[in-house]
Chain A
Amino acid sequence: MILGRIAVIGALAACLAPCAEAPSSGTSMLFDFESEAALDRLNWHCGALYSLSPDHATHGARSLKMEVFPSPYPGFDPLHGTEDWRGYDELGFDVFNPAARAIRIGLRIDDKKKPPLYEDRFNRSVELNPGANHVTIPLSSLVTSDGKRRLDLAHIRKFQLFIPYPAQSTTLYIDAVALARNSR
């Protein structure tokens, strides 16, 4: 009787151990912008204002309305502490550009605690067409700008989406910032 119970507990533990390491679903929603709490989680900087908007939501009822003003690198900088992105294949997010012209944005991803130099982090420029855009970054492409190493996906410290030196006030709508696994 006792041995039987021990066996059951052992079997459950054996099942839970590997399960604890792998993501339980194909997508991990990092930011969805459905409540005020999402705004409190953002790193607020001078040059950008954030609010929840019912417009251009691609997941749930609301999106993040981001207004940036002429300043060095205003944008969206949501991470605190360290994130573990292992077990996923891509980072994706939706951006709606309400302007009649394309807007070029910068993406920056760091894996160092002390802010690294440009060469020692991932940097990419993305052009947002007018209207809806879905941006996908394969995690296998997260290599430092000097090409010397891959980012440590277990220790992602910063994910920043910004507009470099905007000449005028610019608005973007962001939603569904998520990590995803490709279907196998």
Chain B
Amino acid sequence: MKTKARYAWWALGVALPLLLTVLYGVLIEPYRIQVHHVWINDPLLQKMIGTRVVVQLSDLHINALGKREQQVLDMVDALGPDMIFLTGDYVSWKGDAEPALVFLSRLHAKLGIWAVMGDYDYSRSRTSCLFCHDETRRGRTQRHTVHFLRNSEETIRLTGGVLTIRGLDGPAEQEPFFQTAARRRDSGPVFILSHSPLSFDHISDDRNALIMAGDTHGGQVALPKWVFSLLGYRKNNLYNEGLFEKKMKKMYVSRGVGTSHAPVRIGSRPEIVVYHFST
């Protein structure tokens, strides 16, 4: 009897914290969206961007316009963004694009919104056309004002110069057009949008480039690097989250907002990134 009671207490001591952690990971943390202010040391960008509000959203994985999605929209609105950058995975795997298209239509920024596609967005490639095109797939969509950049770029004139915004398109990561876009030399600063952080390795170290990436979700569960390596998640092993710098190039990997595979986050809060540039 004493042994049975001891085992029962032991089981409770292990099972209860585990259960509470899982419940926290499913019911609480995915909704604890953090506005994460990231400081980038770049005098030229500081001169060009100044105090303008630059926001990045990534990996929304929208199934429906629910509580979390509305929360994100409200938080982004409250920031009063001048520029918004989106780094892919707006839908769930082979999911309906309609809620994501509605979400995109509710984003507003004074100077513009630029985006790249993620691998999930191509899971139904016929549907993926709707991010840029109307139902006939011949004309541009009127559903939202987001500029999708697919191995293409736009420029925007700001105080003190011209900023280039370039989008790298996966899944053609090894295709020549991706390589051409990644390696193009620029005379001024460039923002490179890439869903995958592995693009960092394809960009020359002496480029004055800020790469905004996502895809990793910060692992969704905070685990040591070697676990990701063991599981074969190279991107999480190398660039799980945060700021990476090599000579002149910099990359910030966002933990994103949504979830995939399992609807859980533990130690990897969803984030809306706000960039600040300093001298």
Do the beta carbons of B177 and A39 come within 8 Å of each other? no
20 contacts between A and B (CB under 8 A): A39-B126, A40-B124, A40-B126, A42-B125, A42-B126, A43-B125, A44-B125, A44-B126, A44-B128, A44-B129, A45-B125, A46-B132, A46-B150, A49-B137, A49-B138, A72-B177, A114-B174, A115-B172, A115-B174, A115-B175
Contacts of A46 in B (CB 8 A): 132, 150
CA A49 to CA B132, docked complex, whole Å = 14
Contacts of A72 in B (CB 8 A): 177
| B interface list, Cβ under 8 A from A | 124-126, 128-129, 132, 137-138, 150, 172, 174-175, 177
**Secondary structure at chain B's binding surface: helix, strand, loop or mixed?**
loop
The closest CB in chain A to the CB of B177 belongs to: A72
- A/B pair count, beta carbons within 8 Å: 20
The closest CB in chain A to the CB of B137 belongs to: A49
**Secondary structure at chain A's binding surface: helix, strand, loop or mixed?**
loop
Contacts of B172 in A (CB 8 A): 115
Interface residues in A32-72 by Cβ distance below 8 A to B read 39-40, 42-46, 49, 72
The closest CB in chain B to the CB of A118 belongs to: B176
Q: How far is the CB of A121 from chain B (nearest CB, A)?
A: 13
Q: What 15 additional pairs, Cβ within 8 angstroms, besides A42-B126, A45-B125, A114-B174?
A: A39-B126, A40-B124, A40-B126, A42-B125, A43-B125, A44-B125, A44-B126, A44-B128, A44-B129, A46-B132, A46-B150, A49-B137, A49-B138, A72-B177, A115-B172
Contacts of B125 in A (CB 8 A): 42-45
